[in-house]
């Protein structure tokens, strides 16, 4: 729990190697966790979670 929000993943709810990542009441889908995520996709995922890119550092 960070900033009073629960963080977690839900395995098996995604297609293939995708997983759902939860941050508080928001969620995003993470593609294959073994591969790199490009900066555009990372920014989009951060927006879906209500985060700013600087929050991920």
The pLDDT tens digits for 29-47 are 888 778 888 889 988 999 9
Give 21's pLDDT tier (boundaries 50, 70, 90): confident
Give 17's pLDDT tier (boundaries 50, 70, 90): confident
- What's the whole-model pTM score? 0.71
Q: Give residue 47's pLDDT.
A: 92
* Cα atoms in the Cβ-side hemisphere of radius 13 Å centred on 32: 5
What's the distance, Cα to Cα, between the start and end of the chain in Å?
17
């Amino acid at each position: 729990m960070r900033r009073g929000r629960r963080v977690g993943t839900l395995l098996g709810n995604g297609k293939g190697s995708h997983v759902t990542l939860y941050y508080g009441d928001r969620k995003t889908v993470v593609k294959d966790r073994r591969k790199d995520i490009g900066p555009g996709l990372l920014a989009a995922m951060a927006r879906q979670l209500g985060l700013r890119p600087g929050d991920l550092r």
